[in-house]
Structure 1
Amino acid sequence: MSRPDPDVPGASDAGSSGHTVLVAMVAALGGFLFGYDTAVINGAVAAVRDTFHASPGVLGFAVAAALLGSALGAWFAGPLAGRMGRIRVMVVAAVLFLVSALGSGFSFSIWDLAVWRFIGGMGVGAASVIAPAYIAEISPARIRGRLGSLQQLAIVTGIFMALLIDFGLVAAAGGATRELWFGLDAWRWMFLSLGVPALAYGILALQIPESPRYLVARRRLVEARDVLAQYVGGDVDAKVVDIQRTLGADRRSRLGDLRGPRLGLLPIVWVGILLSVFQQFVGINVIFYYSSVLWQAVGFSEKDSLIITVITSVTNIITTLIAIATIDRIGRKPLLLIGSVGMVITLGTLAYAFGTAPLVHGKPALEGIMSPLALIAANVYVVFFGLSWGPVVWVLLGEMFNNRIRAQALAVAAAAQWLANFTVSTTFPVLQQIGLGFAYALYTLFAILSFLFVARAVRETKGRELESM
């Protein structure tokens, strides 16, 4: 990865979109690890349960420990990014991923596995904060939305690769609890495989430049000008002045800067928090965490359920690519509104299908047209989420806050997102017992509220410089 060269002719006028894309892709590797780490557990859950003879409650805690670690990692990533810089936080996240991979792969009990998963979760949380912030700060306004969407593309690609590698390891060993290489069971290799992208992330992060906003805050103005010239373009000196103006006083930013008149926080911080919460409360992770179990529960075979899960994962990747192609043309707010409308329709369809299905042995059984209708509705729901709330929320969180509070506000919003994720993931089994129709009706309600919230509270950021936020 080439470093900025202040003597490149015309560099200060246009910047290099090609270099910027490469740098953004390296930062988005954190999102890949984010998706990989959260999905790799899927193929190992049953094997972990059988190996350690874990009760359902203890097993659930071990799985959910990563989400709690993510909330903690997100909370502290912002302050650390302000003190250490964006690049060093990326390296810290890579180390956390690597430690988690090794610890989980060689775990000797369900309890130490939970600890290693928690540590990996802290890496996930840190990556979820630092990648969108860094990408927004290194990108020209004209392509910032597309580059910011790389975070979501990396997440869904990480999920897909984790599912694919889990499948490959199980196929090679003949079962997740079967011995594979060097006397280790296949499920242990699932966790150890995370170490490869973790190493790549840490090494590549050291090859990319520091954020120009951080460099200005640290009064490293020559370096800041070089980075702006190489990657952002435009009037570099004017940008430096704008950044200095928006950074305000000399003191470092802190969580106290987020205080405001409404329930203790600035209005823009509440907007970020609610965007994060709604992204989870529409139930997207029910599709990804429970899809195989869900489809089996309503009559599909185990094989067919796994195929549906893979199709859903690929669908999410494709729709994220559509979002990348359109976000800087259509804008952030219109995409969110379109996504909310689509989710209301599809979630409402799922609520009706499951709510009216006859019960067989206490479980809804989809009959006739309802079976393909529910399948289509679930995948179209993923389409609407994938082209809107999936990538757009990450883009907005990276660019909607001003320079002074960006890292801190993004940390708070991301922590809220992980807590919302934890809430949805842990309450779904209970809601499933009440009835799938009720569960999806609840998610439909949140999709309706998300539309009203965006229409009233979210401001468009397309084409605006970060210093004008």
Structure 2
Amino acid sequence: MPDPTATGESGPLETEAVHTRRIVTVSIIAALGGFLFGYDSSVINGANKAVFYQFQVANGFEQGFVVAVALLGSALGALVGGRLADRYGRKRVMVVAAVLFLVAGIGTAFPFGVYDFMLWRVVGGVAIGLAAVISPMYISEVAPAHLRGRLTSLFQLAIVVGIFATQLVNEVIIRFTPNSPQQPMLNPDVPPQQANNVLALNLEAWQWMFICMVVPAVVYWALSLTIPESPRFLVARHREEEATEVLATIYVHEPSAKVASIRNSLDGEVRSGMRDLRGAALGLKPIVWIGITMAILQQFVGINAVFYYSNLIWAAVGFDESKAFLTSTIISAVNVVFTLVAIGFVDRIGRRPLLLIGSIGMFVTLGILTLVFQTAPKCTQAILDAGGQSGCAGQSELNTPILGVTEGRISVLALNAFVAFFASTWGPVLWVMLAEMFPNRMRAAALSIAVMANWIANFIVSMSFPGLVQVSLGLAYGLFTAFALLSFFYVKKYVRETNGVELEDMAELEAVRASRAAPITTALRDGPPTAAP
């Protein structure tokens, strides 16, 4: 049932009677794109070393590119996702994303070479980019205002459940794979891995990791065919009778007034485009820049470096591979649990307070990690020449910190606390806000640009992190700490609360924001004032 105590900054919210089971079911189906988002983006974590051996990728930069290339596809998918959603509908784009996930799962499991493998990773990335735009957009457009935060947060919950599922699937596959090496040593820099051993049907373990993605892709495809089209898309395409029918399955009372409100908010626009985003602040409207900046900050606190390179991080700080899988699985479980915490609070205390709490928590926990990594003794060539020790046994561990028992425990606790703060705040709240903060006339285009910025930032972090680790793990985490602090002050100054505001009323928030930004944009355009003669 709707929660009558949900509040925003303006006080108690008036809730509407809705068919709760129907709207939750539709939202869960749409959120399945997030599950595949999480699975596809993190499956490489368990297969990366085996893939490097399979194709003899020894260069560090090339290894990073093989891992991160899917992010370029994600940026492309995000860029075109809004336009496709406005032209063909939200539902059809979901179906296309599901098919691309299916194709990517099969292609990455059966590549002919490294470039072929990378191509299929890009295809999967495009599917992720489409899902990142279309799923939260669709949920926000069908959800009533008083439930919108919780329902849109299901997308982030699906992402972290997908990541968690990947960890479990990879570990189960490894446990059933023979331990003894079956492949020859071709290059000591990329030795054969357990995942290079044959598991079943003459297929190696790393191939099965990708094949397993086919099952949820098929489920997502089948279920996405059963949900209705977004009523806001239908109104924009002048299909108001169909929109009324869809809204009647969501709201208990007659929805004609809501259809009229949607029609008025669109202000005559059939579909949004880049022209709707243009403004005086460096070519874009202030609200678009706010969305872009929030999307970038979410990545620059380093969350995906933790997941994409989690096994490598834990190996670098003294854990063997089996413990690295265990610690990564624990982190994923923490991610899931605290995303549920966010779902419980996002419509109660609001989006902005959660973001501020998250920024403070991430700053403190990342600061602790930075201090631990920076003050710990480093793996040096002298130690390697002397025969090495735990945490410093090969060239790949050169310059990484050597943690003692106490330091190791502190780093594990701080890292899990960081994930908890992110998962309960910036993780889901960003998707909620991006899906709802833009007025109807520009939502698809603005959401596409912001999500593309998120993926580009993700790519930058993923590509730069291995190099930063080689210089100093403390330096890498120090940069993440700085961005966590910056995110606090940015939210405090620029981000307005959207809790409980109808999507059709977001234009009013934009008008207030634009009026406050007018002196700033005028200064940017005209330069500093000159003294009167």
- State the TM bucket, normalised to the shorter chain: over 0.9
1:191 equivalent to 2:210? Answer yes
Report the counterpart of residue 106 of structure 2 in structure 1: 102
Which residue does the alignment assign to 2:32? 29
Distance between the aligned counterparts of 1:127 and 1:250, measured in 2?
24
| Segment of structure 1 superposing worse, 337-346 or 221-230 | 221-230
Tell me the equivalent position of 2:289.
270
Of 58, 74, 79 in structure 2, the residue corresponding to residue 55 of structure 1 is 58
- The equivalent residue for 2:460 is 423
Structure number having the greater helix percentage = 1
Describe the superposition over 1:223-273 as per-residue Cα deviations: whole angstroms up to 9, x where unpaired.
Answer: 111211222455612211111111112442212211111011111111111
- Structure 1 segment 301-316 matched on structure 2, within 5 A: 301-316=320-335
Q: 1:206 aligns with which of 208, 221, 225?
A: 225
Q: Which residue of 1 aligns with 2:369?
A: 350
Check 1:440–1:168 CA distance in 2 against 1; reply closer, same or farther (3 A cut): same
2:157 aligned with 1:153: yes
Answer with 439-448 or 303-312: which moved more: 303-312
Give distance in 1, aligned partners of 2:319 and 2:104.
Answer: 34
Of the candidates 96, 111, 115, which is equivalent to residue 115 of structure 2?
A: 111
Quick one: distance in 2 between partners of 1:35 and 1:269?
26
Q: Give the drift of 1:302.
A: 2.4
Are 1:40 and 2:59 matched, yes or no? no
Displacement of 1:331: 0.5
Structure with the greater alpha carbon radius of gyration: 2
For 2:254 and 2:453, locate their aligned partners in 1 and report how far apart those are by CA, in whole Å: 37
**Structure 1 residues 234 and 385, CA, compared in 2 at 3 Å: closer, same or farther?**
farther
When residues 234 and 407 of structure 1 are mapped into structure 2, their CA distance, relative to the original with a 3 A threshold, is farther
Aligned residues of 1:340 and 1:450 also touching (Cα < 8 A)? yes
Which of 435, 452, 462 is residue 499 of structure 2 equivalent to? 462
CA distance in 2, matches of 1:419, 1:232: 38
| C-alpha deviation, 1:210, in angstroms | 0.4
Is 1:363 the equivalent of 2:400? yes
Shift of 1:292: 2.0
Asked whether the equivalents of residues 15 and 228 of structure 1 are also in contact (C-alpha less than 8 Å), the reply is no
Shift of the alpha carbon at 1:353?
0.8
Runs of 4+ in 1 over 6 A off after TM superposition: none
Question: 1:208 offset after TM fit, Å?
Answer: 0.3
Secondary structure in 2 matching 1:405: helix
- Percent identity between the aligned chains? 52
Q: 1:368 to 1:205 in 2, by over 3 A?
A: closer
Match of 1:218 among 226, 237, 241: 237
Is residue 82 of structure 1 aligned with residue 86 of structure 2?
A: yes
Whether the aligned pair in 1 keeps the contact of 2:78 and 2:449 (CA below 8 Å) is: yes
- 1:173 aligns with 177
Matches within 5 A, 1:212-291: 212-233=231-252, 236-291=255-310
Counterparts in 2 of 1:250 and 1:344: CA distance versus 1, 3 Å: closer
Partner AA of 1:385 in structure 2: F
Distance 1:371 1:104 in 2: 35
Q: Is the 8 A contact 1:59 1:110 kept in 2?
A: no
Q: List gaps (5 residues or longer) in structure 2.
A: 1-15, 179-193, 381-398, 507-533
Distance, in Å, in 2 between the alignment partners of 1:429 and 1:141 is 42
- The amino acid across from 2:428 in the alignment is P
Q: Distance in 1 between matches of 2:431 and 2:253?
A: 25
User: How far 1:380 sits from its partner (Å)?
Assistant: 0.5
Q: Distance in 2 between matches of 1:125 and 1:467?
A: 26
**In the alignment, what sits opposite 1:412?**
449
1:395-406 correspondence runs (5 A): 395-406=432-443
SS at match of 1:180: strand
**Kept in 2: contact 1:272–1:397 (CA 8 A):** yes
Aligned twin of 2:395: none
One-letter code aligned to 1:374? S
Amino acid at match of 2:238: R
Q: Runs of 5+ in structure 1 lacking a partner?
A: 1-12
What corresponds to 2:527 in structure 1? Answer: none
Deviation at 1:383, TM superposition (A): 0.6
User: 2-side partners of 1:233 and 1:82: how far apart?
Assistant: 27
Counterparts of 1:441 and 1:59 in 2: how far apart (Å)?
24
Residue-by-residue CA offset, 1:108-141 (whole Å, 9 max, x unaligned) = 1011000010011000000000001000000011
8 A contact 1:346–1:378 mirrored in 2: yes
Match of 1:120 among 104, 124, 127: 124
Give how far 1:49 is off.
1.4
CA distance in 1, matches of 2:252, 2:138: 16
Does residue 67 (structure 1) correspond to residue 71 (structure 2)? The answer is yes
State whether residues 14 and 229 of structure 1, in contact with CA within 8 Å, keep that contact through their aligned partners in structure 2. Answer: no
Q: Give the distance between the partners of 1:203 and 1:368, measured in 2 at CA.
A: 49
Query: What is the number of residues matched between the two proteins?
Result: 457
Match of 1:295 among 314, 319, 323: 314
Using structure 2 for the length normalisation, give the TM-score. 0.84
